Structure 1
C-alpha cells in the first residue's frame, strides 16, 4: 500500500536547450544534468546527444576517462567500431576507475541519439579496476501491463531486476506509457531520482512534465520505500527514470577525469600521456561482461 507521506513529487523542472555539439554542424547536445553535483549526487552529468550525420567523414575517436563510470543508453542508431558496436536500445556501464581509454566512433552517414551519464563512484571504489558491462536491448528485463511497458537496465524496479553489477546503487528504466496509462511503483526513499521525458508528456502529482524536460523528484534522506506515480497525457509518453544512492563525497572534476584531489588529476593526465591507461578493447575477459 502506498504511503502518502512517501509519494515522490516533482520539486524542480528544467528544460535544457539544444546546443551545438563538438562533433560538427550535424551534432546537437542537451546538458540534462550539468554543474549541479551538490544537488544531483551521485549523477555528475547527463548529456543527450543527437547526431544526424549527412557526410561520410568519421567523427569521434579515442579518449580517456578515470574516477567515475559512464552510463550509456542508445536511443537511436549505432555507435562504436568494428570491435564493439552498440545498437538501438543497448545499454552500457563502463567503470573507468583507475583509468581507461575508449573509442566512440560514427562512420559514414547516420542518425544517432545517445544518453550518456557520468556516475560518481564511491570513494572506496574511485580507483577500481576498469570494467565494461554491456546489456543488449533484447536481453534487458522488461514488463508490460495496463498500457505501461518498462525496460529495466540497472537495479531493481517494477518487479524486475537487472543483471548489471553496480558500485553505486542505480536504477535506470525506460518507461513507455500509452495515452492515459498510469504507473505506480516503489523506489528506495533515499535515492536521488529524476525523470527525463523523451516523448509526449506525463503528470506527476499535480505537475506536468513535457518532452525534453527533466523533473527532479522529492527525496527522503531516511531508509525506506517511496512511491513514484505518473499518468501519461493524451498522446502517451516515454520517460527515462534515473535513481541512485547519493555518496556524499566532494569531487574534483577536470576534463575527462574525476578525483578526490587536484594532485590526482595531474597524475591522471601524466598516466594518459605515458600510455599507462589501457584501451577498453584490451581488457581481459574478467573485466568484460555481456548480458
Structure 2
C-alpha cells in the first residue's frame, strides 16, 4: 500500500468575536474550495446561545462534530435533538433546509463544522438530518490506540452516517510512540485535523500539534496515511471523491451558477424554505 505524501499543511489561526460568538478559526479556508473538492470549508467555533439561530441552506451537506458542550438542533420539519461531546450530526441541505444550531442554556459550545458539496444532480434533493452518537460509531482496536468511524468504511469497519454524497470520517486516538497507517482510496481528497497532542504525519513525517491541518496528495490505487504519535494524540480524518463541477457560493447557498444562488435567495425570501425553525 502506497504511503501518501503531504500536499499542504498549516496551523489554524483564530480570531476573537463579539458575543454570542466567542472565537473562530477557518480550518479549511473557503477560498480554496476548488483545491479541496468535494470539501468547501471547515470552521472551528466557540459560541454561546444566539450565534447560529434560524438560518437557511441549499445545495450542500454539513458534518458537525461536537468537541465540548451541548449543541441543540432544531429545524423547520419539527426535528429537535441535543448533541454532546464526541457526537456528530450529518445534514443534507439539498433543495432547502432551515434550522438553528444553539448552545444549550448558558453553555459554551465548541464545534467543528465541515461543508461538503453536492453534485448538480443532488442539489435539489430532500433535506434531512442524522445524528451519530459517539457510542454508536463503531470502534476498532489498533496497536496502541483506537479507530472510531463515523461515516464510510475505513480499515474494515463502517460508520453509520448515511449521506447523499459519500464521505469518510474517523477519529484516531494513539498512545505516545504508537504508529498507524490509516487507509484511503487513492483518488479521494484526504485531510486531517489534530484535536490533541503531537503527531508526525505522512511519508515525510511532518510534525503537527493541536489545530494542525494537513491535506494529502492523491495516489493511484490503494493508499494510506502514516501517523506516528509523538505524544498521546487525537486526530480526525476526512475523505471524499472530488466532484469536479463548477462552484458558485453565496452565503448559505452553494450551487453551480450565480443565477442558481440568486434563485435560492429569492426562494428563501418567498417562504419556500418553510417557517422559522424556532
Normalised to the residue count of structure 2, the TM-score between the two structures is 0.91
Residue 81 to residue 115, structure 1, CA distance change in 2 (3 Å): closer
Partner of 1:76: 68
Kindly indicate whether the alpha-carbon contact (under 8 Å) linking 1:102 and 1:279 is maintained by their aligned counterparts in 2. Answer: no
CA distance in structure 1 between the partners assigned to 2:39 and 2:73 by the alignment? 27
2:179 paired with 1:182: yes
How many Å apart are 1:168 and its aligned residue?
A: 2.4
Partner of 2:25: 30
Provide the aligned C-alpha RMSD in A.
2.0
Partner of 1:151: 148
CA distance in structure 2 between the partners assigned to 1:215 and 1:59 by the alignment? 28
How many Å apart are 1:50 and its aligned residue?
A: 2.1
Partner of 1:163: 160
Residue 280 to residue 45, structure 1, CA distance change in 2 (3 Å): farther
CA distance in structure 1 between the partners assigned to 2:276 and 2:81 by the alignment? 10
CA deviation map 1:17-68 (0-9, x unaligned): 11124654x61111001110121000000001123x5xxx654310000000
Partner of 2:265: 269
2:54 paired with 1:62: yes
Please, which runs of 5 or more residues in structure 2 have no aligned partner? 75-79
Superposition map of 1:60-209 within 5 A:
60-81=52-73, 83-204=80-201, 205=203, 206-209=205-208
Residue 58 to residue 44, structure 1, CA distance change in 2 (3 Å): closer
Q: SS of the counterpart of 1:247?
A: coil
How many pairs are equivalent? 270
CA distance in structure 2 between the partners assigned to 1:109 and 1:280 by the alignment? 22
Normalised to the residue count of structure 1, the TM-score between the two structures is 0.87
Partner of 2:216: 217
Kindly indicate whether the alpha-carbon contact (under 8 Å) linking 1:58 and 1:108 is maintained by their aligned counterparts in 2. Answer: no
Superposition map of 1:39-50 within 5 A:
39-50=35-46
Partner of 1:287: none
Kindly indicate whether the alpha-carbon contact (under 8 Å) linking 2:73 and 2:99 is maintained by their aligned counterparts in 1. Answer: no
Kindly indicate whether the alpha-carbon contact (under 8 Å) linking 2:70 and 2:104 is maintained by their aligned counterparts in 1. Answer: no
How many Å apart are 1:251 and its aligned residue?
A: 0.6
Residue 227 to residue 267, structure 1, CA distance change in 2 (3 Å): same
Kindly indicate whether the alpha-carbon contact (under 8 Å) linking 2:152 and 2:161 is maintained by their aligned counterparts in 1. Answer: yes
How many Å apart are 1:91 and its aligned residue?
A: 0.9
CA distance in structure 2 between the partners assigned to 1:261 and 1:39 by the alignment? 18
How many Å apart are 1:86 and its aligned residue?
A: 1.3
